C-alpha cells in the first residue's frame, strides 16, 4: 500500500518532513501547501513537488510571481490519505476543522496543545498508542529528545524524578527578525517550563521538572540533566552503555572525538553529508555521564530543526496502521541515514 501524504506548512519543519516523506518507498508526497510564493516554493517545484496555496490571495500571488500553483490547501488535503500539519503554533488547531470536514487523518506538531490529538507521540516510547488513531501530535524538539533518553534510562534503572535545565536557541537560523539577541532571557521565569509536563504526556510515570532560557545561538538547544533513580546506583559505564544503545541517540566524546560544543556537532553533520546539516538524533556527551549517589548527570544537545523529522514519518505509519514500530523506525532510519546503535 502506498500512503498518500500531504504536508501543510512548508518551512522549518514542513520542508524537512516533505523531503523525508518523499524518500519513503511506501509513501507518496501528494504536495505541499505554502502561504506565499518564494525561493522555497521554486525549490520545491524543482524537486518535483506540487505546491498548493493556503488561500485564494496566495494563489493569486503565485500566478503574479509566475510560480505554478496546483490549487488550494483544501484541494491538496482532499487528494491525500493523511496530512502532516507543519504550520505555526495554534494554526494547526484552526486547520483541524478542515481535516475533519474532509474526513482526513492528521499529524500535528509540538506547538499545538496535547489535547488537539488523541495522543502525543515519540516513536520509540509509545508508537502503539498512535496505531489507527485519527489525530496524533508529534511532540516538540526538546520533548522528543527528553522522551528518547528518559524512556531508555527508566526501562533500565527506574526513574523517580528527572530535572532538566534547557538552554534554548533564541531563533532558527533564517529568523533574522528574532535576533541576534545579546542576552540570556529566562523563558519562562516561572518554574517549571512547559517542557517537563509535556514529557509527561508521553511518559507519565515520573515527574520531570524543567527550567528554560534563551541563549544567543541559532543552531541547537543544550540540556543539562539530573535524573534520580529508584534502585541501586549503576556504574557510569552501565549508564553510558544504556544511552549509547538508545535508538536515535548519538553519543559523542569530547576526549576521543574532539566534540566540545554544539558548533562541533553541527560540523559533524556537515562531515556526514547530512541534508541541511540535519542532526536527527539527540546527542549525548558520553564523557559527561556521571553517577553521583542515586543521580545520573549528563549533557545533551538537540538540533531543533531536525529531530522531529523521523517521528513524523513514523507517526504516519502508526496512524495508517501500515507497519510495526520496529519496522517503521528501521525504514525511516535507513532512509535518513541515521547511524544504527
Ligand atoms: P515556521 O513558521 O517555520 O513554518 C510554518 C510555515 O507555515 C510558514 O511558512 C507559514 O507561512 C506557513 N503557514 C502559516 N499558516 C498556514 C496555513 N494556514 N496553511 C499553510 N501554511 C501556513 O514553523 P516551524 O518552525 O516549521 O514550526 C511548525 C510547527 O512545528 C510548530 O508547531 C512548532 O512549534 C513545531 N516545531 C518547531 C520546531 C523548530 O525549532 N522550528 C521544532 C519542533 C517543532
Q: Which domains does the chain have, with CATH numbers?
A: 3-139+308-336 (3.40.50.720), 141-302 (3.30.360.10)
Q: Is 13 exposed, middle or buried (0-12, 13-18, 19+ CB in 10 A)?
A: buried
User: pLDDT tens for residues 30-50?
Assistant: 999 999 999 999 999 999 999
Atom of ligand 1 nearest to the CA of 305: 40
| Residues with catalytic roles | 141
**Which residue among 12, 33, 96, 121 has the greatest number of ligand 1 atoms within 8 angstroms of its CB, and so is best to mutate?**
12
Res. 180 pLDDT band, cuts 50 70 90: confident
Contact 114, 284 (CB under 8 A): no
Cα of 90 to ligand 1 centre, how many Å? 10
What are the E-state strand segments in 216-289? 221-229, 249-252, 282-285
Instruction: Please tell me if the CB atom of residue 304 comes closer than 6 angstroms to any atom of ligand 1.
Output: yes
User: pLDDT tens for residues 200-248?
Assistant: 999 999 999 999 999 999 999 999 999 999 989 999 999 999 999 999 9
Classify 278 as helix, strand or coil: coil
- What's the predicted TM-score (pTM) here? 0.98
Instruction: Please tell me if the CB atom of residue 141 comes closer than 6 angstroms to any atom of ligand 1.
Output: yes
Atom of ligand 1 nearest to the CA of 11: 4
Cα of 196 to ligand 1 centre, how many Å? 22
Place of cell 544567543: 216
Beta bridge partners of 208: 162
Cα of 307 to ligand 1 centre, how many Å? 15
What are the E-state strand segments in the chain? 3-8, 27-34, 51-53, 82-85, 105-108, 119-121, 135-138, 159-169, 185-186, 208-215, 221-229, 249-252, 282-285, 290-292, 295-302
Per DSSP, 72 falls in state B
Cα of 14 to ligand 1 centre, how many Å? 7
User: pLDDT tens for residues 120-165?
Assistant: 999 999 999 999 999 999 999 999 999 999 999 999 999 999 999 9
Atom of ligand 1 nearest to the CA of 33: 20
Q: Report the DSSP pairing between strands 27-34 and 51-53.
A: parallel
Q: Is 32 exposed, middle or buried (0-12, 13-18, 19+ CB in 10 A)?
A: buried
Per DSSP, 51 falls in state E
Instruction: Please tell me if the CB atom of residue 31 comes closer than 6 angstroms to any atom of ligand 1.
Output: no
Amino acid at each position: 500500500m502506498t500512503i498518500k501524504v500531504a504536508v501543510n506548512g512548508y518551512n522549518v519543519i514542513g520542508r524537512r518532513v516533505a523531503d523525508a516523506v518523499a524518500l519513503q518507498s511506501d509513501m507518496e508526497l501528494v504536495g505541499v501547501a505554502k502561504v506565499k510564493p518564494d525561493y522555497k516554493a521554486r525549490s520545491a517545484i524543482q524537486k518535483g513537488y506540487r505546491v498548493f496555496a493556503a488561500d485564494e490571495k496566495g494563489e493569486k500571488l503565485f500566478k503574479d510571481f509566475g510560480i505554478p500553483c496546483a490549487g488550494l490547501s483544501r484541494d491538496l488535503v482532499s487528494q491525500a490519505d493523511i496530512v502532516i500539519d507543519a504550520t505555526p503554533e495554534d494554526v494547526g488547531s484552526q486547520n483541524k476543522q478542515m481535516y475533519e470536514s474532509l474526513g482526513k487523518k492528521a499529524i500535528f506538531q509540538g506547538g499545538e496543545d496535547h489535547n488537539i490529538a488523541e495522543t502525543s507521540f515519540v516513536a520509540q516510547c509509545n508508537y502503539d498508542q498512535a496505531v489507527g488513531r485519527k489525530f496524533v501530535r508529534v511532540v516538540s524538539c526538546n520533548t522528543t529528545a527528553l522522551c528518547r533518553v528518559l524512556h531508555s534510562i527508566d526501562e533500565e534503572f527506574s526513574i523517580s524524578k528527572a530535572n532538566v535545565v534547557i538552554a534554548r536557541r533564541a531563533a532558527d537560523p533564517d529568523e533574522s527578525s528574532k535576533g541576534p539577541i545579546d542576552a540570556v532571557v529566562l523563558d519562562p521565569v516561572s518554574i517549571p517550563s512547559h517542557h517537563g509536563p509535556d514529557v509527561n504526556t508521553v511518559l507519565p510515570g515520573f515527574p520531570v521538572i524543567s527550567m528554560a532560557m534563551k541563549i544567543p545561538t541559532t543552531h541547537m538547544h543544550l540540556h543539562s540533566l539530573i535524573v534520580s533513580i529508584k534502585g541501586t546506583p549503576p556504574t557510569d559505564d552501565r549508564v553510558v552503555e544504556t544511552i549509547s544503545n538508545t535508538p536515535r541517540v548519538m553519543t559523542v566524546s569530547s576526549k576521543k572525538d574532539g566534540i566540545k560544543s554544539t558548533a562541533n556537532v553541527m560540523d559533524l553533520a556537515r562531515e556526514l553529508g547530512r541534508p541541511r546539516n540535519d542532526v536527527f538524533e539527540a546527542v549525548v556527551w558520553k564523557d559527561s555521564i556521571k553517577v553521583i549517589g542515586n543521580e545520573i548527570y549528563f549533557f545533551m544537545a538537540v538540533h531543533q530543526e531536525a529531530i522531529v523529522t523521523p517521528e513524523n514519518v513514523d507517526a504516519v505509519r502508526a496512524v495508517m496502521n501500515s507497519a510495526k514500530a520496529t519496522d517503521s523506525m528501521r525504514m525511516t532510519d535507513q532512509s535518513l541515514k541515521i547511524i544504527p546503535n
